[in-house]
Amino acid sequence: MNRRSATLAAVIAALFFTLGTATWGAAEVSFKGKTVAILIPYSVGGAADIMARQMLPFIGKQIPGNPTTIIKNMPGGGGIVGENWVYNSAPADGTIIGQFSTSVTDTIFKPTKVKFELAKLQWLGGVRETTVTFVSKDLGITKGTELGGVKKKLFFGTTSIQSPRSMIPRLLLKILGKDHKLVTGYGSSGDMRAAIRRGELNMTNDSQSGYFAAVLPMVEEGAVVPIAQEGTVQDGKIIRDPRLPDLPTYYEIVLELKGESVRKDPNYRAMELLAYLGGVRRGWVYAARVPKNVFDTMAASFDRFLKDKAMSAHFKKAIGFDLVSLNAPAAQAIIDKVVEIQKRDPEALEILKAMAQKP
């Protein structure tokens, strides 16, 4: 070996060593002087956007190097344009975090448009919410198990036939064999609350935030009665949401009325699948391309963010209940389960796909 190649070898070795320490040695990546954007795949002013804007001041201070944090809106395709962009085109340096609401169900209901693989997204964390079904007082019932005996015709309102939120109560009515009419096309939960008040609808459901904010006053007033909730997934089981301990889940109602044998009914299994699909209500994700050390740093930042007392106090005031958060492993576990059930139970999956096409 001559001198020249020895020098070259030394330089290469030094270079590898530096790179090596950069990637393996430093566990924590600093975002100092950078701008980290939370990408919202919807327009400014929607529920997802407003939530993220309230998060910003709390998340920025948890990320090493205290980067500037901003919101980037990329609306289109009901969220898919932004989801596809994060997965395929966003910079891989960790400065773009996607905040996804419907990525899980999009892979089922809009498979030809989705350009990402659910199993390959890296989940930084998320929040959990249940949904609540409520009925007009005119139906004269006080709990979900009485639904079968209602004499009046049921008019169940929802936004679109593909709305995953409405599918669980639709399945409940199907399993109970209860005739009903699905009325679709309402622009928002607000429109449906108005429709219930004027007697146009007598049954609908809402997100947990919507329930606490606007439906609870109607319950106190006696105009509507809550009858069932979706529940949340914990340790692989569907349980009542701890923030609504007195409201039974759809699954409890069905089991009480139909007995244990109902577990074999594909409609019931489709209902269970939906609970998992909704397990991460809003999740923060990185594309698969983002390096492991960057992911670890950001996942730890989100963990600190979700444990921040000032943050939870703010959200309790803003949404009226405690935020139940999922750290990176918990969110990842729910997504893994979704992927697994989809493979294991194609029959339940087909039922959901059919429901997205026909009432």
Partner 1 sequence: MTFKRSLGWLILLTVLAAWIILAQGMAGKIGAASLEGLVRVFSWPAFGYLLLGNLIGFAVGMLPGLGGPVTMALMLGFAFQLKMDAVEAFSFLLGMMAVTATTGDITSILFGIPGEGSTASTIVEGHPMAKKGEAGRALGASLMSSLMGALIGAGAIAVAIPIVTPLVLALGTPEFFMLTVAGVTFVGALSGGSVIKGLAAGGLGFIFSLVGLDMQTATERYTFGTMYLWGGGETGGAGIGLVPATVGLFAIPEIIDLATKGGSIAQAHVGRLGGVFQGVKDALRHWWLVARCSAMGTYIGIIPGMGGPVSQWVAYAHAMQSSGKQDQVGTGVIEGVLGPGAANNSTLGGALIPTIAFGIPGNVTTAILLGAFLVLGLRPGTSMLTKDLDVTFSLVWVLVVSNVITVSVCFLFLNQLARLTRIKGTLLIPPLLLFIYLGSYTHTNSFGDIIVTLIFGALGWLMVVFDWSRPALLLGLVLGRLADNYLWISYSRYEFGFLARPGVLIILGVIVMSIAYPLIKNRGRGRSAEAAP
Residues in touch with partner 1 (CB under 8 A): 42-50, 53-54, 56-57, 73-81, 101, 113, 155, 159-163, 181-188, 190-191, 193-195, 197-201, 213-214, 217-218, 221, 314, 317-320
The dihedrals phi and psi of 38, each to the nearest 5 degrees, come to: -95, 120
Q: How far is the CB of 52 from partner 1 (least distance, A)?
A: 9
Closer to partner 1 by Cβ: residue 221 or 260: 221
Q: How far is the CB of 141 from partner 1 (least distance, A)?
A: 21
Q: How far is the CB of 90 from partner 1 (least distance, A)?
A: 14
Q: How far is the CB of 324 from partner 1 (least distance, A)?
A: 18
Q: How far is the CB of 225 from partner 1 (least distance, A)?
A: 17
Residue in the block written with tokens 């593909």: 162
Closer to partner 1 by Cβ: residue 21 or 35: 35
Report the alpha-carbon distance of residue 55 to residue 297 in Å, rounded. 18
Report the alpha-carbon distance of residue 221 to residue 50 in Å, rounded. 28
> What is the CB neighbour count within 10 angstroms for residue 240?
18
What does DSSP say about strands 203-207 and 154-158: parallel, antiparallel, or unpaired?
parallel
Q: How far is the CB of 218 from partner 1 (least distance, A)?
A: 8
Closer to partner 1 by Cβ: residue 145 or 159: 159
Closer to partner 1 by Cβ: residue 231 or 278: 278
3-state secondary structure 137-185: HHHCCCCHHHHHHCCCCEEEEECCCCCHHHHHHHHHHHHHCCCEEEEEC
Report the alpha-carbon distance of residue 296 to residue 226 in Å, rounded. 41
Contact 203, 154 (CB under 8 A): yes
Closer to partner 1 by Cβ: residue 74 or 349: 74
Contact 175, 351 (CB under 8 A): no
Closer to partner 1 by Cβ: residue 80 or 253: 80
> What is the CB neighbour count within 10 angstroms for residue 51?
19
Closer to partner 1 by Cβ: residue 280 or 330: 280
- CA distance to 139, 263, 281, 334, per residue, from 102 (Å): 32, 27, 8, 14
Report the alpha-carbon distance of residue 99 to residue 193 in Å, rounded. 28
Q: How far is the CB of 311 from partner 1 (least distance, A)?
A: 12
Closer to partner 1 by Cβ: residue 214 or 262: 214
Q: How far is the CB of 93 from partner 1 (least distance, A)?
A: 21
Contact 262, 241 (CB under 8 A): no
